[in-house]
Amino acid sequence: MKILNNKIFTSPSDLNNFVSCKYLIKNEIKFLNKEIQRNQESIDKKLWKEFGLKHENKHFKLLKEEYKNVISIKQDLKEEERFKQTVKAIKEGFDLIYHAYFIDDNFRGEADFLIKNDTKSNIGNFSYEVYDTKVSRKPRPRHIYQITAYSSMLSKIQGILPEAMYLIDGSDIIHKYKTKEFLDFYLFTKNNFEIYLKNISKENIYPEKNSNCAVCDYTEVCENIWERDNYINQVAKINKSQIEKLKKVGITTVKQLAEANIDKLKVKINKQALKDRISQAQLQEEKRETGQSKYIILDSDKGKGFYKLPEPDDGDLFFDIEGFPQEDGRGFEYLHGIYFKNKNDYEFKFFWAKDFKKKYEKENFVELIEFLKNHFKKYPKAHLYHYNSYEKRSLRQLASLYSSDFPEGSNFVDTLLRAEKFVDLFLIINQCARTSEKDMSLKSIEGVLYNFQRKGDVKKAEDSVKLYDYWLTSKNEDTKKDIIEYNKEDCVSTYQLREFLIKNKPDTIEWYSITPEDEKKSYDKKPWEEAEVELLEALDKKEIAKNPLTQTIRNLVGFHRREQKPEWWEMFDRMEKTHDELEEDAECIGQCILQSPKPEKVDKSFIFTYQFNDQDYKLKKDSSVYDAHMNTSIGKIEEIIEQSPNKNIVKIKLSEKKYNSMGEMPSVVSLSRRGAPNIAVLEQALNRFVEDYINKKGSNYKSIIDLLNRGNPDLKDIKSGDPLINESENITSESVKIIKQMKNTCLSIQGPPGTGKTYNSAKIIIELMKDGKKVGVSSNSHEAIKNLLFEIERQAKAESFKFKGIKKSSNTNLFEGEFIIDVIKDKLIDIKDFSLFAGTAWFFSNMRMDQTLDYLFIDEAGQVSLANTISMATSAKNLVLIGDQMQLSQPIRGTHEGYAKLSALDYILENRDTIPPEQGIFLRETRRLNKQICKYISDSFYDSRLIPHKITESRSVNLGLKNIEDEGIFFIPTDHFGNSQRSDEEAEIVHNYYSKIIKKDFEDENGKGKIDIENIMVVAPFNVQTNNIKQKLLKKHSEDTRIGTIDLFQGQEAKVVFISMTSSDAENLPRHKDFFFNRNRLNVAISRAQNVAIILFNPNLLLASANSIHEMRLMNNFCKLLMFEVKK
């Protein structure tokens, strides 16, 4: 940014700053006007710039060797002249243009390289694409903003948008990006930036903390403002939502909060949390007035705080990790440090990644585990102390990630977890002490609690990351020493904190320990661990190792255990959390208050009523629930009654016998779901296939081998590479014909919204049964299985075709069909007696089903993991995958390497949106979406292959709304502040429109009618908002209104769909952006609508700093919706 003659000139870098923090732009202008000072530029930043220039020059020399016709635009010319020469060079068609300079009014920037290609444009039979060099090893969102800006400005010169743009990173790897996947997000941001600059003198904004503060050049400026104002964000542990709620009742300073009367304060914050924040504010206010730091020791609740401190041992280890953030959310762990006692002295040991490559991270991990194994063998009573959850989480992830190559590491980390060797001092100190500092980071509390003084130059984790990035290029030994010294100081400080806790632990509290029996069990080798090691060793045999499939199969070994681990880890982590914290966990219903100790009696069962606050949760009616802190079963959810604000009811039903064994129900309880299911059957089936692959090259399971090869299906009368069907013919008849030609192979049917996936699948299955084939039907849930079974029975009855089938069920998911009977008990089934078999993965993975079926159909295959698909596929000769990977996807929890983390359909399609005609069947006609909605869905998600069926032309609605027409997609921008999971503003808009369109006319293929609650669907990302909207609608409308989260409505449709996105901005999102802006969820939400889709969201949601390039792509999809904005 620069200011000339009172005019502000900006660049893509300023756009990055604007997205990160609006106040940063104000600070930048103040700096240019010499009103404030920046933080001093660090030495590493200056050196970084030098390395950037060297990296750029190196690639210019390399490119000059490749391209003959080269021009370099001189950088010492005036900006207008540089732009003029750039335009001239583009029109003259140079092969390579170095330092191309662009001007778009007051927005300017320099691209490193423009390289010519053969794509025609307005300037001739050629055009250009942008290449930019970055010395960083990891491309970041800010780099994408830059090359998108250059590509956009380039398009104005050559008349077409470059199809691709490129980044050359510090490892000399060239990254290619599709320009259109970022353009809308860039243009939206740039437009808002320009509006902001025009009105900047009128913009009355206040600096707020955000994720950019850690790397901002003006941290001191904002810190001074907050300290001057004694702003409430200075209170330790306070979150943004609490700040906004307190500000609404007039509390904006630490002092006001410290003096607040909790009994008179009417604010929607949990009472215990509010009490803690007030106590914290009082401590900090006392320090502000006296200048003296202070701490207080709190009484530890049973099982928390001091109760979790183990007895000291000479072998205790103090551990810290430095991680480099990555695109997938996992850190690249470049440094492990351990401080420990060696004989009489303490020493520090470190493990350093020699480069930014997985092999060095793995090498470090292997060495670390070998050290730990030897150490714990010598000191069996020792513990591994760390501060906060990162170290424990990272070791768990590393163990899973490298389990295929180093199973001993995974098994040993599991042993440490089972033996409870990890001790998180952050949890303990937070539960037993409070300080006068602004946060509970190690750096903040160490001077107050135990007077630890740091001497190293590196002060923050962010600085360590930047220095490691710098070291990767420079290999500067002093830089490496600085990073290691920082890590060492963290380890030593963790040791000093442990000593402080020992000193202050009340004598009345026993040291924490597990029983000798549990400790012995934790070291016992598990049978599945031994089985995995044997399989992985066998896969290392020379002949097998050469096969390209072997690495994928290696990565699948142990999948089910890895996938379950996060569930078990979270279950144990929840036992350490407070009721307040569990309110923020969507897997729980936190802090439920018993309304009466006297139950309601129903038959031989008791029902107890609990009240809980508004929160996002996944538990529902009939869910078996556990006490999250005790991990004990306490019954089943009988009913949930949502009564916002904060008066929701959950009724728990349990048997008389269960109640008598408990003695009494807890007065306060946080509910969680039952633990992970037994996966032995799935694991055994997968191992059965792997063994066959090792011994017989998978010959007994050819359909699985064909699946893994991702080739074209093996068909009797179709040559490999030819289209499978004639799309001009009847799609159902063509599909039946092709499926009957399968020769022990795998085939996929992709069914976008409304294309008749269920109808076609049922028809195919019936035709196969008529031919005497035995067919299996499975999916990711009983509901999805039952949906297909209903259609099979419906068509069979219509055709007067009788058959015998079974469904493996439980009492809560019975099918109760005419031809298909439910089998509840696990008893032997005579295969000869039935034609159709239905059940979940557990049923088909059972050894007794091995290779008994002719065909297995897996519905919703985009939600079934590749490993589960293989386990089930052991039951059949032919495998048919049905689904759509562009709708709700398989939620993978574990850390897996390579393709093991994908669903079966994602694996087959390899990042493509649609199945190629030679590889599978694409159902291209939607009977749901009208022309306008179909065009958006087709272009955005299905390579423009999806078309509306003629039947959609017969459907219409007459809504009679002023600004919203009777067909298409409409975006209503909303204006609100501080909303996270609930927006009264959006709920009111939905209520108003809903009330206006009810009883309005519609016409479809069945005739004319009036719109009722069955014809309208309301979708929101969070349960709290769906409950909020439902309560508003209940004032006028029936209890049966169709309102819920998107997961509830996959496969359903309505004439009109409302989508309320709820949150005010990205800072208020209760979950990560990847969930909120998820491309698949957006597809499902909009594609429920036959006639009209109305989406409400605050545009400020899109004025957010993306944490990853993937997030940028997701937000770009939402920016496309801005074209549908309702005219006021």
Q: Which pLDDT belongs to residue 201?
A: 85
The pLDDT confidence band at residue 584, using thresholds 50, 70 and 90, is: confident
Q: For the chain, what percent of residues have pLDDT higher than 90?
A: 74
CA distances in angstroms from 1001 to 898, 956, 1055, listed in the order given: 53, 9, 11
pLDDT tens digit string along 592-601? Answer: 999 999 999 9
pLDDT tens digit string along 696-729? Answer: 999 999 999 999 999 999 999 999 999 999 988 9
| Of 644, 635, 685, residue with least CA distance to 845 | 685
Quote the CA–CA distance of 1036 and 991 in Å, as a whole number.
Answer: 10
Q: Are 592 and 671 in contact (CB under 8 A)?
A: yes
pLDDT tens digit string along 202-234? Answer: 888 899 988 788 788 899 999 999 999 999 999
pLDDT tens digit string along 125-166? Answer: 999 999 999 988 889 899 999 999 999 999 999 999 999 999
Pairing of strands 1001-1004, 1007-1010: antiparallel
Please give the domain boundaries of the chain with CATH numbers for all domains: 41-198 (no CATH), 230-292 (1.10.150), 305-524 (3.30.420), 580-673 (2.40.10), 695-923 (3.40.50.300), 931-1124 (3.40.50.300)
Q: Which pLDDT belongs to residue 1113?
A: 93
DSSP string, 696-745: HTTGGGHHHHHHHHT----BSSS-TTS-SS-TTS-HHHHHHHHHHTB-S-
Quote the CA–CA distance of 616 and 586 in Å, as a whole number.
Answer: 5
pLDDT tens digit string along 359-372? Answer: 999 999 999 999 99
Query: Residue 394 pLDDT more than 70?
Result: yes
List CB contacts of 960: < 8 A, sequence separation 6 or more. Answer: 996, 997, 1000
Mean pLDDT along residues 107-114: 96
List CB contacts of 731: < 8 A, sequence separation 6 or more. Answer: 725, 756, 760, 921, 923, 924, 925
pLDDT tens digit string along 4-56? Answer: 888 999 999 899 899 888 999 999 999 999 999 988 765 556 666 777 888 99
Q: For the chain, what percent of residues have pLDDT higher than 70?
A: 99
Q: Which pLDDT belongs to residue 193?
A: 94
Quote the CA–CA distance of 347 and 488 in Å, as a whole number.
Answer: 10
Query: Residue 245 pLDDT more than 90?
Result: no
Q: Which pLDDT belongs to residue 895?
A: 83
Mean pLDDT along residues 746-770: 97
Question: What DSSP element (H or E) covers 142?
Answer: helix 141-158
Beta strands in 363-522 (DSSP E): 384-386, 422-424, 433-435
Quote the CA–CA distance of 375 and 381 in Å, as a whole number.
Answer: 10
Quote the CA–CA distance of 471 and 483 in Å, as a whole number.
Answer: 10
**578 vs 866, higher pLDDT:** 866
Query: Residue 866 pLDDT more than 80?
Result: yes
What's this model's pTM, rounded to 2 decimal places? Answer: 0.84
Q: Which pLDDT belongs to residue 457?
A: 84
Query: Residue 991 pLDDT more than 60?
Result: yes
The pLDDT confidence band at residue 980, using thresholds 50, 70 and 90, is: confident
Mean pLDDT along residues 650-672: 93
Beta strands in 252-398 (DSSP E): 295-297, 317-324, 332-342, 345-352, 384-386
pLDDT tens digit string along 1083-1123? Answer: 999 999 999 999 999 999 998 888 889 999 999 999 999 99
List CB contacts of 674: < 8 A, sequence separation 6 or more. Answer: 624, 625, 626, 633
pLDDT tens digit string along 307-349? Answer: 999 999 999 999 999 998 876 668 899 999 999 999 889 999 9
Mean pLDDT computed over every residue of the chain: 92
The side-by-side arrangement of strands in the sheet containing 746-750 is 820-823, 805-808, 836-838, 775-778, 853-858, 876-883, 746-750, 920-922
Q: What is the DSSP letter of 952?
A: G
Query: Residue 59 pLDDT more than 90?
Result: yes
Q: How many residues does the chain have?
A: 1128
pLDDT tens digit string along 403-440? Answer: 988 999 999 999 999 999 999 999 999 999 999 999 99
pLDDT tens digit string along 610-653? Answer: 999 888 788 888 889 999 998 899 999 999 988 867 889 999 99
Mean pLDDT along residues 775-779: 97
- Which class for 515: exposed (0-12), middle (13-18), buried (19 or more C-beta within 10 A)? exposed
Q: Are 1030 and 642 in contact (CB under 8 A)?
A: yes
Quote the CA–CA distance of 672 and 622 in Å, as a whole number.
Answer: 13
pLDDT tens digit string along 1012-1067? Answer: 999 999 999 998 899 889 888 988 888 789 999 988 888 899 999 999 999 998 87
Backbone angles phi, psi at 741, to 5 degrees: -90, 0
Question: What DSSP element (H or E) covers 263?
Answer: none
